[in-house]
């Protein structure tokens, strides 16, 4: 019996490099959801979280990060590149917004650079998904 001929059809599902990157995003997202919600001092040593608005801001950011993690996990579990594409595009908008806010309020340079690097990796994943 002869094996079937290889075709140039795109592979089904999420490409492996993007899948690995997404799992890294999930792990980092779980960590930062914890940090924002329960222990902001880990990432923001000077943060004063004694008043209601600060607590609400950090906790709601943690919940939003968890929502993004849930969307990433759903895309991975069901192996749906279209769903992952939508999730990553929305994350890209959030990252760009965070960069602009950071620059506008004079945030730390390292934070802005790290968010920029994350945005570039997410753009790479989006472009990779569009090619597949």
What is the rounded average pLDDT for all residues in the chain? 88
Q: Which pLDDT score is estimated for 42?
A: 80
User: Which of the listed ranges 33-37, 42-46, 127-131 does the model predict with the highest average pLDDT?
Assistant: 127-131
Percent of the chain with pLDDT over 70: 92
Residue 102: exposure state from Cβ atoms within 10 A (0-12, 13-18, ≥19):
middle
Q: Which pLDDT score is estimated for 112?
A: 87
Tokens of 93: 């908008």
Taking a C-beta distance cutoff of 8 angstroms, is the pair 47, 58 a contact? Answer: yes
Taking a C-beta distance cutoff of 8 angstroms, is the pair 65, 33 a contact? Answer: yes
* Dihedral sign (CA 66, 64, 25, 131): positive
pLDDT (mean) for 7-33? 86
Q: What is the DSSP letter of 114?
A: H
Cβ neighbours of residue 27 closer than 8 Å, sequence gap 6 or more: none
Confirm whether pTM is higher than 0.85: no
Taking a C-beta distance cutoff of 8 angstroms, is the pair 56, 65 a contact? Answer: no
Give the closest residue to 111 by CA, choosing from 120, 119, 102.
102
User: Quick count: other Cβ atoms within 10 Å of Cβ 94?
Assistant: 16
């Amino acid at each position: 019996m002869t094996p079937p001929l290889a075709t140039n059809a795109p592979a089904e599902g999420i490409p492996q490099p993007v899948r690995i990157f997404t799992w890294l995003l999930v792990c980092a997202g779980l960590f930062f959801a914890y940090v924002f919600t329960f222990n902001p001092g880990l990432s923001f040593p000077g943060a004063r979280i004694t008043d209601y608005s600060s607590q609400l801001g950090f906790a709601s950011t943690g919940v939003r990060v968890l929502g993004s993690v849930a969307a990433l996990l759903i895309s991975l579990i069901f192996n749906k590149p279209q769903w992952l594409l939508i999730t990553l595009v929305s994350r890209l908008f959030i990252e760009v917004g965070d960069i602009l806010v950071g620059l506008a309020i004079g945030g730390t340079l390292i934070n802005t650079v790290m968010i920029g690097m994350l945005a570039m990796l997410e753009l790479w994943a989006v472009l990779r998904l569009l090619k597949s």
